[in-house]
């Protein structure tokens, strides 16, 4: 349950960063690169939490995503449904190379 809640928070943060990137263009190119790195890292964290969820003993029978199977009781939107929906958006806006790239940033101040 805790990983589901964490996944929900990471997904919302990822969407918020998406909205920020669409509505505000940073005046400095480096700021845009930092935001792109944060966007990628948030998705990588979201995917890692989703993967960890499926390795827990409580979800041993759910080793693959089955969004059509709702759990008994809350949450109504399962982690798999949320992850698949977010993944669809990520694939439209990001290349696999971007998602696998390790971003390196250095503080210049």
Q: No. of H helices and E strands in the chain? A: 4, 0
- DSSP 3-state of 29: helix
What confidence tens digit (pLDDT) does each residue in 46-72 have?
999 999 988 887 644 445 565 555 454
Q: What is the pLDDT of residues 14-48, one digit of tens each?
A: 999 888 877 777 677 777 788 888 888 999 999 99
What global pTM score does this model have? 0.70
Which pLDDT band, with edges at 50, 70 and 90, does 95 fall under? confident
Give CA–CA dist 83/27, Å, rounded: 32
CA distance 82 to 31: 29
- CA distances in angstroms from 84 to 18, 29, 36, listed in the order given: 17, 31, 21
Backbone angles phi, psi at 64, to 5 degrees: -120, 160
């Amino acid at each position: 349950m805790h990983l589901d809640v964490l996944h929900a928070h990471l997904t919302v943060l990822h969407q918020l960063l998406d909205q920020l990137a669409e509505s505000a263009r940073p005046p400095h190119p480096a700021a845009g690169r930092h935001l792109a790195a944060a966007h990628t890292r948030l998705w990588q964290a979201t995917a890692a939490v989703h993967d960890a969820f499926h390795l827990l003993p409580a979800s041993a029978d759910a080793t693959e995503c089955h969004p059509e199977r709702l759990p008994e009781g809350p949450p109504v939107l399962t982690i798999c449904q949320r992850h698949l929906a977010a993944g669809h958006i990520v694939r439209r806006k990001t290349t696999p190379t971007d998602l696998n790239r390790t971003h390196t940033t250095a503080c210049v101040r």
